[in-house]
Structure 1
Amino acid sequence: MPVRIGTLLTLLLERPISLYAAAVLRIGYGFLYLAFLLREFPHRNEIWGPGSPWTPALARQLFDQTGWASILTLSDSRVYFEVCYTAAVVTSALFMLGWRTRAVSVLFAVVVTSFHARAIYMTDGGDTLILLMVLYLVVTACGRRWSLDARRTRLRASAGKTVRPPLDQASGELRHHLRDARLTVITVLHNCGMLVIAAQVCFLYGSAGLYKVQGAAWDNGTALHYALNLDVFQPWPALSAVADEHDVLLAIACYLTVLLQVAFPFVLFGRLKCPVLAMLLGMHVGIAVFLGLPLFSGAMIVADAAFLPDRFYRALGRLWRRTVRGSGSGGTADASRAPRALVPAQSEPAG
């Protein structure tokens, strides 16, 4: 037991974990919400604005009972709503790009919470998952990789440190201890945030699988048949009709869905993790195409990306750099130049 406690403390205190996965979560959810706001731009007033059937006054009455809050209900002015909507689009883009991530992550969480609360009866599982994830990402160092913050830190390091006036020994030691304490706090918060994100996804899959086990439609393999014949889940009726003709494949898909969701929390530390994640990716793509739930599927795919190791993302980064250099030089790489690191060291402060 003491050995395990020591290992856990080392994991939490020494270095931030899954920095690339955190960056993927930031990019993924920032992009999804930006696309969501742009897609609903023509209908924004009817969904969240003063022209909504669920008026700001009704929303404020509900907030008094539920404890929710939204910046969109602070004024009934159409001009104020348009300013808030524009700010939400800009904030989503900046969060995705990783500009001043520590502050922008808080603003992004306020934006998502406000829009979610304003139209609470029009949300689904995808909206709820995005809301939870952006709240968790506030405490993570999600701007440390693949971001404008990381690029700025790299450029500053390559330019050399700024010369500061010498300090006396006492002041220098105090400054050193304060810096170490700050890095430790950032590391602990980031690691705890990533562990909470992983636990949230495990709980989501496990509870969804156990809930399906209790249903007769999933037990006899007919759940997807009924889903494909619901008008609200038929973006392309002809495609749904073709899929519904394959009874055996639909039954197998039902059983495989339940098996993957129930088994997910138990395969994360074994060799089956990558095959399970690949099958879940296919499942979510199928949900987006056949059932017309792209936001939900995208939110789940991004959440699954948190379980891929950093070495996988580093390999993707190296492949991308080789591809860019090859295309930029007509297919020939300059062997005389050593590639520079595109990310800061893990011991640097979080962005």
Structure 2
Amino acid sequence: MQSEAQKTALPGAERGLAGPLTSLWHLLTRRPVSLYAAAVLRIGYGLLYLVFLLREFPHRDEIWGPGSPWTPALAHQLFDQTGWFSVLALSDNRAYFELCYGLTLVTSALFMLGWRTRVMSVLFAVAVTSFHGRSIFMTDGGDNLILLMSIYLVLTACGRRWSLDARRDRLKTVRAGNATEPTRSLFARQLRDARATLITVVHNCGMFVIAAQVCFLYGSAGLYKVQGASWGSGTALHYVLNLELFRPWPALSHFLDEHSLVVAMAGYVTVLLQVAFPFVLFGRLKYPVLAMLLGMHIGIAVLMGLPLFSGAMIVADAVFLPDRFYTVLPHLCRRVVRRRGSRRPAPGRAAGSGTVPAQGGRGVLGSRHRVVLPAGRKDTTLATEPPAAQVLPKSS
């Protein structure tokens, strides 16, 4: 039997546990979080995949089409083992492939713009999955990340901000004006509230999964590097800079490789950032870490020629920026534009004109005024009479 102290302690423990659970429940159900970050993910990955397909447009037949060495028959054999699926492997007809390619381009553009986002997110995920599975041996880390994010974004309400859907909803609200809302039955109101709660919960869970995926990616990459002897000795980036397959700018890679100390420090900082990333997300330290990771990914894109991978990682990092960052950013940009506009000289007037007086002559320290006359007439200078105390004595 429980003692009296244990009996009296149980309600307090239950109350202590109920507090965090209630806060977590409210966080999941009250309102959708990180709507601007979800919009950035939608725009970023839609744009990345659209640019990727346009870039590979001349080579589409050799990579995914009927002319690919990886034929649909071989793809089906692999699908039987892995359980994968691809719309492109349903037929080896060229017209069918061109139709699928064109529809994927349109889907990526509409998903980026946020038109009927709920439907377009599903179509975008199906398209990315189909292209990924059709020629899986041509993919890299960037393709894998875009594939995962396209599936996760189906769960999110990524069309609530910066989209054509959001613009349409605003216009609909303005047109409705002060019109009275039609009365609904109790069951209809409960059904509407349950639908809103379900959308909120699924969106918040989807954003949590995206954040967890990025943390797992950075953490596992950092721990994997720690186990390598080349990263521990600081020579890993030296070998990376000398890989012929990843040297789009050989002269630049050779120039950086000459500074061995800088290369070694960059390697150590890379490992430190990736390992520490999951532990700095709940403080202000995450902002300089995200800035350094941005520089790292730009360096990977330039030095190693992996723009798709770097772009996918940069977009994924945007999930950790709060909504207030995205709401304040446009105001800061407009303020900078206004300041630059105010510093420009007035039209028809040269910069600095009329601001510096002309040098004095005849030994008089007086102010001079430049009189601007029409073209074809001589310019004259009028000197004001200075006070007697300002007249210099004549030299003998």
**Please, what TM-score do these two structures have when normalized by structure 1?**
0.89
Aligned-partner Cα distance in 1 for 2:186–2:240: 65
Aligned-partner Cα distance in 1 for 2:101–2:178: 40
Once the 2 structures are TM-superposed, how far is the Cα of residue 13 of structure 1 from its aligned partner? 0.5
2:57 is the alignment partner of 1:50: no
User: What letter matches 1:202 in structure 2?
Assistant: C
Aligned-partner Cα distance in 1 for 2:157–2:204: 9
Once the 2 structures are TM-superposed, how far is the Cα of residue 321 of structure 1 from its aligned partner? 6.0
User: What letter matches 2:265 in structure 1?
Assistant: I
Aligned-partner Cα distance in 2 for 1:156–1:228: 55
| Bigger Rg over Cα | 2
Q: Which residue of 2 aligns with 1:244?
A: 257
SS in structure 2 at match of 1:257 = helix
2:276 is the alignment partner of 1:260: no
Query: Identity over aligned residues, as a percent?
Result: 72
For structure 2, which runs of at least 5 residues remain unmatched after alignment? 1-16, 345-396
Question: Given the superposition, is the C-alpha separation of residues 164 and 261 from structure 1 closer, same or farther in structure 2, using an over 3 Å criterion?
Answer: same
How do residues 148-159 of structure 1 correspond to structure 2 at under 5 angstroms? 148-159=164-175
User: What letter matches 1:179 in structure 2?
Assistant: R
Aligned-partner Cα distance in 2 for 1:99–1:325: 32
Aligned-partner Cα distance in 2 for 1:78–1:325: 53
SS in structure 1 at match of 2:283 = coil
Once the 2 structures are TM-superposed, how far is the Cα of residue 317 of structure 1 from its aligned partner? 3.0
Q: Which residue of 2 aligns with 1:95?
A: 111
Aligned-partner Cα distance in 2 for 1:238–1:200: 36
Aligned-partner Cα distance in 2 for 1:30–1:220: 40
| Pairs aligned (count) | 328
Once the 2 structures are TM-superposed, how far is the Cα of residue 322 of structure 1 from its aligned partner? 6.3
Q: Which residue of 1 aligns with 2:49?
A: 33
Once the 2 structures are TM-superposed, how far is the Cα of residue 173 of structure 1 from its aligned partner? 1.6
How do residues 104-143 of structure 1 correspond to structure 2 at under 5 angstroms? 104-143=120-159
Q: Which residue of 1 aligns with 2:283?
A: 270
Aligned-partner Cα distance in 1 for 2:45–2:126: 14
Q: Which residue of 2 aligns with 1:224?
A: 237
How do residues 180-195 of structure 1 correspond to structure 2 at under 5 angstroms? 180-195=193-208
CA RMSD of aligned residues (A): 2.1
Q: Which residue of 1 aligns with 2:89?
A: 73
Q: CA deviation digits over 1:70-124, x for unaligned, max 9? A: 0001110000000000001000000100000000000000000000001100111
Q: Which residue of 1 aligns with 2:319?
A: 306
SS in structure 2 at match of 1:138 = helix
Higher relative contact order (CA 8 A, sep 6+): 1
How do residues 1-16 of structure 1 correspond to structure 2 at under 5 angstroms? 1-16=17-32
Aligned-partner Cα distance in 2 for 1:196–1:321: 34
Question: Given the superposition, is the C-alpha separation of residues 321 and 229 from structure 1 closer, same or farther in structure 2, using an over 3 Å criterion?
Answer: same
2:33 aligned to which of 17, 21, 29: 17
1:201 aligned to which of 210, 214, 218: 214
Aligned-partner Cα distance in 1 for 2:182–2:286: 52
Q: CA deviation digits over 1:136-178, x for unaligned, max 9? A: 00010000000000000011111116968955xxx52221111
